[in-house]
Structure 1
Amino acid sequence: MKAILCREYGPPSALRVESVPEPHAGPGQLLLRVEACGVNFPDTLIIEGKYQQKPPMPFIPGGEVCGVVTALGEGVSGPAPGTRVAAVITHGGFAEAVAVDAGKAVPVPDGVEPEQAAALGLAYGTVLHALEDRGALVAGETLLVLGAAGGVGMAAIQIGKLLGARVIAAASSEQKLEACRAVGADALVNYSAEGWRDRLKELTGGEGPDVIFDPVGGPYTEPALRSIAWRGRFLVVGFAAGEIPRIPLNLALLKNCAITGVFYGGFTRREPDRNRALLTRLYGWVAEGRLRPAISERFPLEQAAAALEMLAGRQATGKLVLLTHPRPAPPHPG
C-alpha cells in the first residue's frame, strides 16, 4: 500500500511517499481502508520529535482517520466489514490502510462524508471537550477564541455558537477575521493591532469574556488572561505560536478565575466511553445539518508534506484533509 513515512525527525519536506506492506488487524483491532485523514498541528510536532508520544522509527504520521472496515481482529465482533467508521489515533493515518483499536472506532452515520468525519475527530472533539467538559460554557456567555482562523479555532467558533455562546474571534489579519465571520463569529478582534485589549473590553462592556479558548500561547496568552471576566475560565489548548508562556498566577487570584488544561489525547485514552459519546454527538450534528466542518483545503495523500507545511507556517484557514482517492470538491466549501 501507499503511505507517508517519517524515517527521521525533521520538517515536512523530510517525509517520503513509499510502498509498504499493508497492516493486519491484531487482537482487539479493526483494519480500515482509509478514505480521508485529517491534518492537525500535532502531526507537525510528532514528525519533529516534539510531541508527547514518540513512535519508533520509521512511522506513519496522521492522527484522525475515516475509512471502511475490511477485517476484524481476534476478539472483535464489530462493526462489520463494509461499515464506515472514524477514529482518533496517535499516528498511522497517512496511508491507504491502517489498523486501529476497535474501541476507538465510531460508526459514521449516513449523510456524513468521509472528509467531514476525518475533519471532526481531533479539532472538533478537542473543542467540544474543552468548551463543555472543561470550560463549562453555557448559553448566553461570551467566548473568546484565539487563533480563530485555524482549523481548531474555526471549530471553536462553530461549537461555541451551537452551545449558545456569543463568540468573539481573534486572529492576526483582516482576511483571517473575515473567514471567521463567515463561519459564524459574532465579533472580531485583530490581535496584531495596537490596543486590541481595548477593543475586547469595548466588545464585552468592560466585563471581559467568560471563557477564553487558547490554542496559540506565545505573546497572546497573558494579555487575554488579563482581560478575562470575573469567575472566567481560561482554557489552555496548545502553543501554536511556538512559545509556552509563563503566567503570573496573581492574575488568576485577582479575577477569581480558573486556568484549565485541555489534553484531548489523554481524555480519549483515559475516558474512551465518554469520548465515543462525544464523537457520536458531533457526527449527529453533521448528519442533521446543524454543523458543517470548515474544510478549506483537500490534498491527495501524496501531498501530505505540502499540507503539513501550510499548517506549520500558519497559512491554513480552516481544516486541511488528505484524501487517499480524491474526488471533485463539493459545490460549496465546508
Structure 2
Amino acid sequence: MERTDRTRPTAGADAGTRAAHAHSADDRTPGTRAVEIVLPGAVGPAGLQVRRRELPPPGAGEVLVRVEATGVSFAEQQMRRGKYFDQPPFPFVPGYDLIGTVTGVGAGVDPAMAGRRYAALTKTGGWASHAVLAAADLVPVPEGLDAAEAETLVVSGVTAWRMLHHVARSAAARPCWCTAPTAVWAPSSSNSPATPGPG
C-alpha cells in the first residue's frame, strides 16, 4: 500500500463518516491523528493508501467509535473499481459497516453509551481506526459476541433480511443456504493495516 500523511481531509474523503485514531477518554485532544485506508481512485488492492489526519471531535448527536472490525464485501470491491451505485467521488474511505466501542460522545448524547460496543451500517468510512457517527445509527452488540462474529451479521444480515422480505416477500422465516463467506478486518491494537481474514 502507498502511505500518505496529510493533516486535512481531501474533499469527499469522509462521505458523511469521519474516522480517527485515539485510545483514551481524552479522544478529542487536538493533535490526535486519524488512521484511514483510502481509495484514491479506481485501483487494485496495492493502490490503497494509508492516511493519517487530525481527529474531528464528535458533534451534537454524534459519537466517536473505536473500530474493532469492519467488512470487505462485494460493495467495497465494486467501489474500488469505481462501479458501485451512488458511491462518493474519489478519494474516500471505504467500509460499508463496522463494529466498535464508543469512546467519546457529543452534545445531547447519552453518556452511558461510552464504553459500550455497537454495530453500524455506514456505507463508507469503516476502513479506519475510529469513526464519528450519528448516535441514532448505532445498534448495541450483545455481550459475549466477538466483534468479528458480530460484523458478519451487519451487511450480510441486513441483505438476507431484505431479500427475504422485500424481494421474495416471505411472511415467515425459513431455512436458507449461504455459500459466500464474508471477509472481516479486525485491526490490531497498533492500528496498523491488517490482512482481512474469512468471517
Please say whether Structure 1 and Structure 2 have the same fold, judged by a TM-score greater than 0.5.
yes
Q: Residue in 1 aligned with 2:114? A: 81
Any idea what the Cα deviations from partners look like across 1:20-75, whole Å, max 9, x if unmatched? Answer: 33343123221100000011111112223222233244321101100000111233
Find the residue that maps to 1:17 and give its secondary structure. strand
Question: After superposition, where does 1:1-334 map in structure 2 within 5 Å?
Answer: 1-77=34-110, 80-137=113-170, 163-165=173-175, 167=176, 180=179, 317-325=180-188
Q: Return the alpha-carbon distance in structure 2 between the equivalents of residues 136 and 10 of structure 1.
A: 38
Per mean C-alpha deviation after superposition, the further-off stretch among 124-133 and 88-97 is 124-133
- Measured in 1, the distance between the counterparts of 2:75 and 2:137 equals 18
Q: Which aligned segments of 4 or more residues in structure 1 are displaced greater than 3 angstroms? A: none
3-state SS in 2 of match to 1:32: strand
Identity among equivalent pairs (%): 32
Equivalents in 1 of 2:85, 2:177: separation in Å? 31
The verdict on how the C-alpha distance between 1:58 and 1:134 changes in structure 2, with shifts beyond 3 A counting, is same
CA shift in 2, pair 1:73/1:94, >3 Å: same
In the alignment of these two chains, the number of paired residues is 158
> Which is richer in helix?
1
Q: Distance in 1 between matches of 2:137 and 2:126?
A: 13
Contact persistence 1:35–1:324 (CA under 8 A): yes
Separation in 2, partners of 1:44, 1:118: 17
Alignment TM-score, normalising by the size of structure 1:
0.43
Shift of 1:109: 0.9
5+ unaligned residues in a row in structure 1: which ranges? 140-162, 170-179, 181-316, 327-332
Note the residue ranges of structure 2 that are not aligned, 5 or more in a row: 1-33, 190-197
**SS of corresponding position for 2:155:** helix
Give the AA of the match of 2:150.
A
Give 1 or 2 for the bigger CA radius of gyration. 1
C-alpha distance in structure 1 between counterparts of 2:141 and 2:50, whole Å: 28
Distance 1:57 1:112, change over 3 A: same
Q: Give the residue type in structure 2 aligned to 1:319.
A: T
Contact 1:26/1:73 (8 A) holds in 2: yes
TM-score norm. by structure 2 comes to 0.70
